[in-house]
A and B are shown apart, each in its own frame.
Chain A
Amino acid sequence: LAKTTQPISMDSYEGQEVNITCSHNNIATNDYITWYQQFPSQGPRFIIQGYKTKVTNEVASLFIPADRKSSTLSLPRVSLSDTAVYYCLVGDQRDSSYKLIFGSGTRLLVRP
């Protein structure tokens, strides 16, 4: 039932920029796009959220094209500690229920 599609896994090396793209073709007009990071044995942790164009914080940047059917999480100069699973979420509005449904996420492996 996930409304998002992401690559299953990605590999990178320390110091590189990593871009993870998420597809959300049926995003609703009022939905934001939110990205979470999850380490083993921990709950997901909020990274960044955006509605359109570009958002940047101290951790990452989020690029959202005008049609909002996809988004790209950009992690600048990754380190080994960025090895984690990354999820993008949009809301799922059905009838009177609004839910946040996780997909399978993208497993990022950062190598030395």
Chain B
Amino acid sequence: EAGVAQSPRYKIIEKRQSVAFWCNPISGHATLYWYQQILGQGPKLLIQFQNNGVVDDSQLPKDRFSAERLKGVDSTLKIQPAKLEDSAVYLCASSLGDIPDNSPLHFGNGTRLTVT
């Protein structure tokens, strides 16, 4: 099966600019996650969707971050305006079942964002 696709692979922007990341999960996967991974740390959950509804976004900085999952398939994560501390890898993952569920997460290779 095709894996989780993310684009772009790399992005460099200046602070206060906006940026968007795109994720296409594995076909048929109900649940989609966005994680932020700062260098040297474990991934931090930002938001999770079940189909096209938000299940949890308690760790999402909503003053600058937004995310949506259109028709329960693809998802976009946006940052506006970006800050220096947003420099990180943004990982998208999907899993087969509904939350709560123990089906494994399948990750994309992420988008590496550098804010200068």
Contact = CB atoms under 8 A, between A and B. Distances in A.
**Interface size band for A:** 20 to 34
**Interface size band for B:** 20 to 34
B32 to A, nearest CB: 12
Contact of A43 (B55, B100, B109): B109
Contacts of A104: 41-42
Contact of A100 (B4, B45, B91, B108): B45
A65 B73 CA distance: 39
Given A42-B109, A43-B107, A97-B56, A102 B42 contact: yes
A18 B56 CA distance: 36
A95 to B, nearest CB: 10
A70 interface: no
B102 A43 contact: no
A43 B55 CA distance: 22
Interface of B: 4, 33, 35, 41-45, 48, 55-56, 58, 91, 93, 99-102, 104-110, 112
Interface of A: 2, 30-32, 34, 36, 41-46, 49, 87, 91, 93, 97-105
